Amino acid sequence: DAKTTQPNSMESNEEEPVHLPCNHSTISGTDYIHWYRQLPSQGPEYVIHGLTSNVNNRMASLAIAEDRKSSTLILHRATLRDAAVYYCILRDRLPTNSGYALNFGKGTSLLVTP
């Protein structure tokens, strides 16, 4: 199974950009990189995903290294509501080979201070 490595925690000031790193050195050529986040006492929610090119959406940007062995989730202006655990995920093929399951590690706990 492909694995990811993330720092346990990071801290940011409100309204400043945040760069959350992720290493995935064993990624295969067809693996998408997914990011989810989990706000306190809530279920995980999708943030962004990408394959090779940098991606942007209304929540964040995803910068993917040229060799695809690492990526960075970018929150352009952190708010207090962005305080959450952020998971960088490479999915696992289901045992029946019929789809995928999300392989959650411990993620990065982001603290945002006013």
Partner 1 sequence: NAGVTQTPKFRILKIGQSMTLQCTQDMNHNYMYWYRQDPGMGLKLIYYSVGAGITDKGEVPNGYNVSRSTTEDFPLRLELAAPSQTSVYFCASTGLAGARQETQYFGPGTRLLVL
Q: In the complex with partner 1, which residue's Cβ is closer, 60 or 114?
A: 60
| Least distance between partner 1 and beta carbon 47 (Å) | 9
**Is residue 56 part of the contact set for partner 1 (CB under 8 A)?**
no
| Least distance between partner 1 and beta carbon 46 (Å) | 4
Q: In the complex with partner 1, which residue's Cβ is closer, 12 or 108?
A: 108
Rounded Cα–Cα distance for residues 68 and 77 (Å): 25
Q: Are 48 and 105 in contact (CB under 8 A)?
A: no
**Is residue 101 part of the contact set for partner 1 (CB under 8 A)?**
yes
Binding residue for partner 1 (CB under 8 A) from 24, 87, 108, 110?
Answer: 87
C-alpha count within 13 angstroms, C-beta hemisphere, residue 104? 13
Give the residue among 27, 15, 10, 8 at the shortest CA–CA distance from 91.
Answer: 27
Applying CB under 8 A, the span of 12-20, 55-63, 72-80, 96-104 interacting with partner 1 comes to: 96-104
In 14-96, which ranges are E strands?
18-23, 33-38, 45-50, 55-56, 61-64, 70-75, 84-89, 92-93
**Is residue 86 part of the contact set for partner 1 (CB under 8 A)?**
no
